[in-house]
Amino acid sequence: MNIKFKAEQTSELEIDVLFDRILAELRQLEYRIKSKTTQVIKFDDGADFSDDFKLVSRFELGKRMHKGCFELIDSNEVRTIKLIYYKSINFEVFFLSIITMFAIIENWFISLMGLAIIIQFLFFATMTKDMNKKMLDRITT
C-alpha cells in the first residue's frame, strides 16, 4: 500500500541539463531507473529481494521514496519539473493491525504504540518531503 505525494519546481535550465541532473541525482541516491522517455523518468527504490537486495535500517528506509516519476514540462522560457512519488505504508499497516488485535484481546482503550507508529510515519513523510524539496533545488539550480 502506498500514499501519493507531489512536488513541483520551475527552472530556466535547458531540458537536457535537467534530464541529466535528475538521472545523476537518482543514481547517487541509489534508485533504480525503470523507464525514461524525453519527458518522463520512472524509478523505484530497487528493494525487490533480488541479488542486489541490501539490508537497511528502518530509519534509512523511512526516508526513501518507494517509487515515483519525474515529469519535465517545457513551456517557452520556463521548464517545470513535477515529482510524483509514493511512500509505502506496509510496515505501519502491519504493526497497527497487530496492535489493534492485542488492543481488542486485552481490552485496551488506547494504544500508545499505535500512536507512536502513526507519529513515526508522519515524521518520515515530512522528512522525505523536505529531502525531495532539497533534491529539486539541487536539480534546478
- Give the rounded percent of residues in the chain with a pLDDT score beyond 70: 85
Tens digit of pLDDT for each residue in 90-133?
877 887 788 778 777 776 666 677 777 788 888 888 888 888 89
Name the nearest CA neighbour of 10 among 100, 108, 140.
140
Cell numbers that stand for 109 in this block: 482503550
* Dist. CA 118–CA 106, nearest whole Å: 21
Domains within the chain, CATH numbers bracketed: 2-140 (3.30.310.80)
Does 54 have pLDDT greater than 60? Answer: no
Task: Please state the pTM of the whole predicted model.
Answer: 0.76
Tens digit of pLDDT for each residue in 59-76?
666 678 889 999 999 888
Read off the pLDDT of each residue in 14-24 and give the average, rounded to a whole number.
92
pLDDT score, position 42 = 95
pLDDT score, position 106 = 74
